[in-house]
Amino acid sequence: MPLMRNARSFFAPLAIGAPDPVRAIPVTPSRMIHFFDPSNEKLRGKVPDMARSADILLGNLEDAVAADKKEAARAGLVEVGRTADLGGTPLWTRINALESPWALDDLVTLVTEIGDVLDVVMVPKVEGAEDIHYVDRLLAQLEARAGLSRPVLVHAILETAQGVANVEEIANASPRMQGISLGPADLAASRRMKTTRVGGGHPGYRVLADPGDERPSYQQDLWHYTVGRMVDACAAAGIFPYYGPFGDIKDEAGCEAQFRAAYLMGCVGAWSLHPVQIGIAKRVFSPDVEEVRFARRVLEAIPDGSGVHMLDGKMQDDATYKQARVLVDLAELLAKKDPELATAYGLS
């Protein structure tokens, strides 16, 4: 069994002088976590534009940043944190893996230099609660030394078989846990899955109908099981699940379908690797206008949220009231950020 803090000490700061851990994870629009490489000067110049169009901006320090660019990426992110006008868009980072030569300096430098504007640290290849405990204590020490008044939160990537096996303990490892993302590329390698794709389906993974005149077959979702486990672990822990990357940038329809499956299963967002995927995530992770309209009718039809009612031939009760609440709450949250959505939802 991993070492867990007990119920009384769970919310105690892990270093003298560190800020109190949060009791509830902030609920903000997070339809996409937009990745950019902070070592790239041209992209750094685009940060204000990216921040206007994305819900969350993430300076990536890990995979996709070459080894000889790691320090430039870290320094570039410090520059962004110190100088860029993000207009209230949360700033996240993905640090290097904990066993790498860069992770320690990533945490020390970022919390010391820009801990006051850094909302969340994404930790790759998390295998169990012990990885979160290590980051948790170190963050507390760094926050205390930097005199920060609010804690930096932690987001784990689920991208090893061991991490999936331990997903519940990871989700509950610390009050800093903000959420978990699927990392389908590393996870595929860790599991010895035979695919070279970053997320998405595979034409060979399908179900064939029984023998008959015709034998239709349908492609299945390779990630259904893991997304299901991740969503349940996150919901049970009061944190947020995200589908991760979709690497085939040109396959916009494939990306949209994968994001939509994750949205319907409970994910709050996905990663965008390219500007085109910001629009896809916005479309997918904003509730459908007609569904919101129907959900509001459900809430109006059941003012106290109890009893049984009929609406358009469909039974409504306490449970459907709660389902409707999920959609309406999300629509109201997004409408506050997005005037076009506010108009579409009739909330302006």
- Which residues of this protein are in contact with ligand LIB3CWND, per CB under 6 A? 35-37, 43, 46, 50, 60, 63-64, 159, 183-186, 198, 244-245, 249, 273-275
Q: Give 3-state DSSP helix, strand, coil % of the chain, rounded to 5.
A: 45, 15, 40
Given Mg ion, ligand LIB3CWND, none, residue 46, with its beta carbon under 5 to 8 Å by kind, binds: ligand LIB3CWND
Q: Which is nearer to ligand LIB3CWND, 249 or 342 (CB)?
A: 249
Shortest reach from residue 2's CB to ligand LIB3CWND, in Å: 23
Q: Which is nearer to ligand LIB3CWND, 22 or 43 (CB)?
A: 43
- Annotated binding residue 210: no
CB 96 within 8 A of CB 62: yes
Token digits for 239? 């944190």
CB 243 within 8 A of CB 277: no
CA pair distance 49, 199, nearest whole angstrom: 27
Non-local (6+) Cβ contacts of 204 within 8 A are: none
3-class DSSP state of 34 = strand
- Annotated binding residue 106: no
Report H helices in 210-304: 224-237, 252-265, 275-285, 289-301
Given ligand LIB3CWND, Mg ion, none, residue 202, with its beta carbon under 5 to 8 Å by kind, binds: none
Given Mg ion, ligand LIB3CWND, none, residue 107, with its beta carbon under 5 to 8 Å by kind, binds: none
- Please list every residue from 165 through 204 that binds Mg ion, using CB under 5 A: 183, 186
- Annotated binding residue 290: no
CA pair distance 140, 132, nearest whole angstrom: 12
Decide the pairing of beta strands 309-311 and 314-316.
Answer: antiparallel
Residue number of the CB closest to Mg ion reads 186
Token digits for 288? 């459908």
Given Mg ion, ligand LIB3CWND, none, residue 280, with its beta carbon under 5 to 8 Å by kind, binds: none
Given Mg ion, ligand LIB3CWND, none, residue 113, with its beta carbon under 5 to 8 Å by kind, binds: none
Could you list the residues known to form a binding site for substrate, using ranges: 94, 159
Q: Which residues bind Mg ion (CB under 5 A)?
A: 159, 183, 186
Annotated binding site: 94, 159, 186
